[in-house]
Chains A and B, each alone.
Chain A
Amino acid sequence: MTMTAPDMPAGRVALAKRVLPYALLSPAVLVTLAIVFFPMIQAAWMSLHDYVLWKPNAITFVGLKNFVAAFQDEVFWISLKHTVIWIGITIPAQMLLGLATAMLLNQEFSWRPLARALIIIPWALPSVVIGLMWVWIYDSNYGVLNDFLLRADIIKQSIPWLADPDTALYAIILTLTWQGFPFFAVMILAGLQSIPKSYYEAASIDGASKFRQFWHITLPGISGVLVTAVLLRTIWVANSIDVIYVMTGGGPGYSTYTLPLYAFIKARTNLDFGYGSALAVLFTIMLLGLVIVYLRKVGGDNK
């Protein structure tokens, strides 16, 4: 025989009410624990071990040895430098391009819906397709970029963009900027449309120039969107290895290595899961630090 709620004692009803939310949430919590936290803890555990996949009988606890080794590793510092350049150029470039695009798309013109749809294309394409496409664009024999620059008499000789260590990283940054700017454009466009037109009309009547309108109305109006978009893109771009992997595989030499790519190559290609995990853990801590500093400095101003 089952009891209905009115039949149950008051204490049990209260208990059931307290337990019910946890019971309903527990499947989601368990799944999150299993697919997010367990691998994270496992990676941290592996980073404290000599863990080479093809030496399953020689796994030993080594404490912080892998972390110490990372700080003494030339490739770690090269990769870290590239990661800083990679984030430092890509995010502002994507943001500025996205801002300019959003401002244009916010104007009234007849084919605006079509333009808005077209602008999404780079964002919608898979990274592998984008990587392969830009490899062809940069090709020193057949590439359209060299052909254009030669015809315009800007260069005298084809440049092997991806095979030259001085240009390879920047060539990939340009690719990723192209891929990622629509995200900013769409986010900022949404922000722009939430600013009431009456603000601009009032400012215009008061004699504010276009620049002052932009500075005092537009920028504050989209600042919340910008903070969120920059934060999301920083995390995505920092962790993005697919475009680099397809375009150069990290080469030539280490000239397009970033920290996540180095961790991936160490773990997946060299099967050194201990060292690869240590690199990943170090990078996660650095990124976390960057995000905290950013949110405190920039996010705080937007409260």
Chain B
Amino acid sequence: MRKLLTIAALSASVIAYGAAANADDTVRFWYHFDNADNPMSDLIAKFEEQNPGITIEAENVPWNSYYDNLYTSIIAGNAPDAAMVKLYAQPRLVEMGALVPIDDYISSWDGKADLQDDLLDLTKGPDGNQYYLPIQYVVLYLYYRADMLAELGMEVPKTCEEFREAAKALTQDTNGDGNPDIYGFGFRGAKGGQEHWGSLVLSRDGVSLDQPGGLTNPTAIEGTQWVVDLFQKDHVFPPSAPNDGFKEVTGALKAGKTAMTIHHIGSANDMVAALGDKISATTVPECGGGHWTTFGDESTAIFSSAENKDAAWKWISFLSTTGNNKEFNEATGQLPVTKSDSANWTLHPKRFVDATVASLPFAVTLPNTPETSDFVNTVWPVNMQRALTGEITAEKMNQNIEELFNP
């Protein structure tokens, strides 16, 4: 009998210990930060002090395998309780049943009124539910070398025609060896470059990614051909453009090898460190009757496998609350989602914040469908590279993309 009691007591203590150390009030959170200046431990300490009983286990997952790891962890039944997520992944995560709707949490949340206007609409799920809580954002704009344009006596390009003229004039052979040393525009032909192509093509009247015929109409084909001609005929992109990614386009601009490119405020401080006042920014050019630029997002979401969804909500809403959101964005170099933090924002030089704000009215997101991930990861880069190198025509490129969205 005594032996039985001992076993029972031992079991009870193990269960009690397990419950206290493990369980429901631990939030496993995944995020991705490239910079060494990681504020997460400070934010966690602050949160845990304000919310005794909740433990945050935050894991910085490398960006290049972030979504591969996230999808496989969901399938393996080992998903985090909450994580940083991008809009283009939302349709697939919803399709997998991996996310929890957070409409009720948001409607009863004090911080809702302080969120920037329209951010919740932009991040709405494909079924109309809200799964994402915005945490940072950027809008893509045109970087240009103000000093070089001034030297040439040229205005900052506002339209596609002016952009092309500027790019041609800025492409220069400075050492007289017969080859350009500076190219007018650093085009991103590798993954992520759909933002460059989109600004120069999707802005045109009647052109769209997901409407039937939206890419196979003459205007759309002419737009893609125009981009291809900039490379093949005008030679205003560096020869490496088909393979160039983020590092190459921003690196070439900083090194003075290119005079313009398209990116966002996340790279502004690096640009200023390299080029000082010589670098400035404006909205992407108006092409074919309209403007088109990308709203670059990052949100947080709660996963359906989370044991304590209330604790997960407390943590993600904490990150999107004034003060905490500022601290978070000071590290990522992007923009806060709260109005109060934005009002006193001094992290970036004003001209880049102005270019971002001026771009907001026409900033869009990619189609809210599961196909968008394939468009971003493989279909766009492969077809753009083939078109740039002359393996396929501009028409064929547009057809291939249209087939993805409208099979």
Contacts and interface: CB of A to CB of B under 8 A. Distances in A.
A264 to B, nearest CB: 11
Interface residues on A, range: 20 to 34
6 contacts: A54-B370, A55-B96, A251-B243, A253-B242, A255-B391, A269-B68
Instruction: Give the interface SS of chain A, mostly helix, strand, loop or mixed.
Output: loop
Nearest to A75: B382
A251 B238 contact: no
Contact of B385 (A251, A265, A271): A251
Name, among A163, A268, A269, the residue most crowded by chain B CB atoms within 10 Å (CB to CB): A163
B92 interface: yes
Contacts of A248: 243
Contacts of B244: 163
Interface in B228-256: 238-244, 252
A55 B95 contact: yes
Interface stretch (A80-88, A96-104, A152-160): A152-160
Contacts of A57: 97
A56 B389 contact: no
Contacts of B385: 251-253
B335 interface: no
A249 interface: yes
Nearest to B252: A141
Interface stretch (B15-23, B25-33, B277-285, B373-381): B373-381
- Top 5 nearest A-B pairs (CB, nearest first) are A253-B386, A160-B239, A252-B385, A252-B242, A54-B92
B45 interface: no
Contacts of A287: none
Interface string B45-78: 0000000000000000000000010011001000
Contact of B71 (A53, A139, A253): A53
B139 to A, nearest CB: 27
Interface string A48-75: 0000011111000000000000000000
Contact count band on B: 35 or more
Given A54-B92, A269-B377, A270-B377, 8 more contacts: A160-B238, A160-B239, A160-B240, A163-B239, A163-B240, A163-B242, A249-B381, A252-B389
A158 B179 CA distance: 8
B61 to A, nearest CB: 15
A164 interface: yes
B153 interface: no
Most-contacted residue by chain A among B93, B241, B383 (CB, 10 A): B241
B111 to A, nearest CB: 31
B388 interface: yes
B191 interface: yes
Interface string A246-268: 00111111110000000001001
Interface in B87-125: 92-93, 95-97
B89 to A, nearest CB: 9
Interface in B377-407: 377-378, 381-383, 385-386, 388-389, 391-392
B190 interface: yes
B68 A251 contact: no
Contacts of A271: 71, 92
Nearest to B383: A253
Given A163-B240, A252-B242, A270-B378, A157 B179 contact: yes
Nearest to B241: A163
Interface in B177-209: 177-179, 189-191
Interface in B347-385: 370, 374, 377-378, 381-383, 385
Contact of A141 (B177, B257, B378): B257
A223 interface: no
Interface string A129-165: 0000000000111000000001000001111101111
B72 A251 contact: no
Interface in B33-51: none
Contacts of A160: 238-240, 242-243
A53 B382 contact: no
Contacts of B191: 249
B389 A254 contact: no
Contacts of B386: 252-254
Nearest to A253: B386
Given A54-B92, A164-B389, A140 B240 contact: yes
Given A53-B75, A157-B179, A141 B381 contact: no
B405 to A, nearest CB: 15
Contact of A254 (B71, B75, B190, B382): B382
Nearest to B390: A165
Contacts of A159: 239
A302 B125 CA distance: 66
B308 to A, nearest CB: 24
